[in-house]
Amino acid sequence: MGKKMKKIAVMTSGGDAPGMNAAIRAVVRACAYYEIECVGIYRGYQGLIEGDFEQLTARNVSNIISRGGTILKTARSKEFMTKEGRAKAYNNLKNEGIDGIVLIGGDGTFTGGMVFNEEYNFPSIGVPGTIDNDIFGTNYTIGYDTALNTVVEAIDKIRDTASSHNRLFFVEVMGRDAGFIALNAGVGAGAEEILIPEEDMGLDRLLESLQRTKRSGKSSSIVVVTEGDKIGKNVFELADYVEKNLKQYEVRVSVLGHMQRGGSPSCFDRVLASRLGVRAVELLLDGKSNLMVGLINGKVETTDLEKAVKGNHEINKELIRVSDIMAI
Ligand code: F6P
């Protein structure tokens, strides 16, 4: 291990994700294990700028492994995007005697971390926590597995009513720029079509596919639509368009929204969060910085924070093929 750190801070930033609490717990307990102090920063970068800090001990994080959300709260800070904001943040870290920081969050969090590191060279390690799974350098982000299970459970319920009324449902799921949730939950819930930002299937092909589905004798249809898909219409416009052009369908829309971000984390997310949180502390103690920890082929690996932000985590194209075959 390199230069001994005495105090490490931890914060959550950006959209919350189930398992963030498990990650906080892992960081706090790893600090206790290695006999160093741990400070929790409330409300992400905003709390960092405002000095909203609290000392955390191993007992402060009892019984949070099963809780959704984040006990440290979170925010999307505009002030941290300014030089003045980052200068305040740096001064607060120095005044508090903090030697390194663990950033739990997604793309925006790591972009902030990268810029901060360029300016102040402050030891920081990223832990990927977002339901979107859109981070390069890890096969899974914390919260993604739980969100998938939440979405599948919701679609199963929608299927019951869709099938009773012989209806077509458009179900919108989260994912501003990425279709991981839509694609995996769509296959898991047996959706007839899945619209993702990474592949624009076009309106004509969608109509053809829905016509085929109707002819095949199915009693209900589910189309999973990613929030950020590129078909050119929002989910309500899309539903109107289909209803106008395919008179044989009665169409309804269900937007799952923020319920996808809540709930008790799955076992997978708890274990992932524990492994990544511990490694993040160990990396800081080892003198490492500007890295993100992630899970690659079952192993905890590191990626440069810049690569994690700029690299592209590609969707699994095989799933698109499987989905097409299953929708017959
Ligand atoms: O990044 C996670 C995410 O849940 C996205 O899927 C979604 O587009 C966005 O956050 C919503 O953000 P907010 O809660 O700020 O509206």
Q: Is the CB of 174 under 6 A from ligand 1?
A: yes
* Residue 2 lies inside a defined structural domain of this protein: no
CATH for 215: 3.40.50.460
Predicted TM-score (pTM) of the model is: 0.97
233 and 183, same structural domain? yes
Q: Which of 202, 226, 261 marks a domain boundary?
A: 261
Q: At 196, phi and psi to the nearest 5?
A: -125, 155
227 and 280 together in one domain: no
- Domain identity same for 52 and 133: yes
Does some domain include residue 233? yes
CATH classification at residue 138:
3.40.50.450
- Residue 320 domain-assigned (yes or no): no
**How much of the chain exceeds pLDDT 70, in percent?**
99
Q: What is the pLDDT of residues 53-95, one digit of tens each?
A: 999 999 999 999 999 999 999 999 999 999 999 999 999 999 9
3-state secondary structure of 114: helix
Question: Do 83 and 198 share a domain, yes or no?
Answer: no
What pLDDT sits at residue 201?
86
1 pLDDT band, cuts 50/70/90, is very low
For residue 168, the enclosing domain spans 145-261
Average per-residue pLDDT in the chain? 96
Give residue 34 CA to ligand 1 midpoint distance, Å.
35
| Most informative mutation of 132, 133, 142, 309 for ligand 1 (most atoms within 8 A of CB) | 132
Does residue 207 share a domain with residue 306? no
Query: Does the beta carbon of 130 sit less than 6 angstroms from any atom of ligand 1?
Result: yes
Instruction: Please give the DSSP secondary-structure letter assigned to residue 199.
Output: B
- 207-211: long-range pairs with CB below 8 Å, 24+: 207/242, 207/245, 207/246, 209/327, 210/168, 210/242, 210/246, 210/249, 211/246
Integer CA distances (angstroms), 90 to 48, 73, 75, 94, 303, in order: 8, 20, 18, 6, 24
What pLDDT, on the 0 to 100 scale, is given for residue 78? 97
Sequence-distant (6+) residues with CB within 8 A of 70 are: 12, 16, 20, 21, 24, 104
Together in a domain, 201 and 300: no
- 133 and 35 within one domain: yes
1 domain residue, yes or no: no
> Domain check: are 129 and 219 in the same one?
no
The answer to whether residues 273 and 127 belong to one domain is yes
Please report whether residue 63 resides in a domain. yes
Decide: 206 in ligand 1 pocket, CB within 6 A: no
pLDDT digit string, tens, across residues 163-203 = 999 999 999 999 999 999 999 999 999 999 999 999 988 89
Q: Is 132 a catalytic residue?
A: yes
Q: Confirm whether 319 is domain-assigned.
A: no
Over 80: is that where the pLDDT of 230 sits?
no
Question: Is pLDDT of 218 > 50?
Answer: yes
pLDDT band at 8, cuts 50/70/90?
Answer: very high
pLDDT over 80 (residue 3): no
Does the beta carbon of 132 lie inside 6 Å of ligand 1?
A: yes
47 in the same domain as 188 = no
Q: What is the pLDDT of residues 235-248, one digit of tens each?
A: 999 999 999 999 99
User: Is residue 248 located within the same domain as residue 109?
Assistant: no
**Number of folded domains that form the chain:** 2
Do 103 and 131 sit in the same domain of this protein? Answer: yes
Q: How far is the CA of 269 from the centre of ligand 1 (A)?
A: 19
